[in-house]
Amino acid sequence: MSDTIFSKIIRGEIPSHKVYEDDKVFAFLDIGPLSKGHTLVIPKEAVPTLDRLSDESAAAIGRVLPRICRAVMKATGASDFNVLQNNGKSAHQVVMHVHFHIIPRFGEEGLGIEWNTTAFDHGAGAALAKAISANL
The answer to whether residues 53 and 43 touch, using CB atoms and an 8 Å cutoff, is: yes
The answer to whether residues 102 and 35 touch, using CB atoms and an 8 Å cutoff, is: no
- The answer to whether 109 contacts ligand AMP (rule: CB under 6 A) is no
- The answer to whether 87 contacts ligand AMP (rule: CB under 6 A) is no
CA distance linking residue 102 with residue 100, whole number of Å: 6
Active site residues: 99
- The answer to whether 89 contacts ligand AMP (rule: CB under 6 A) is no
Per-position DSSP letters for 64-113, written without gaps between them: HHHHHHHHHHHHH--SEEEEE---SGGGT--SSS--EEEEEEBTTBS---
- The answer to whether 11 contacts ligand AMP (rule: CB under 6 A) is no
What is the SS3 assignment for 17? coil
Q: In the stretch 67-86, what mask flags binding to ligand AMP with x, by CB under 6 A?
A: -------------------x
Written as one letter, the residue type at 123 is G
Of the pair 60, 100, the CB lying nearest ligand AMP is at: 100
Q: Given candidates 16, 35, 39, 57, which one binds ligand AMP under the rule CB under 6 A?
A: 16
Of the pair 73, 95, the CB lying nearest ligand AMP is at: 95
Q: Given candidates 75, 94, 124, 126, which one binds ligand AMP under the rule CB under 6 A?
A: 94
- The answer to whether 92 contacts ligand AMP (rule: CB under 6 A) is yes
- The answer to whether 59 contacts ligand AMP (rule: CB under 6 A) is no
- The answer to whether 31 contacts ligand AMP (rule: CB under 6 A) is yes
What is the SS3 assignment for 62? helix
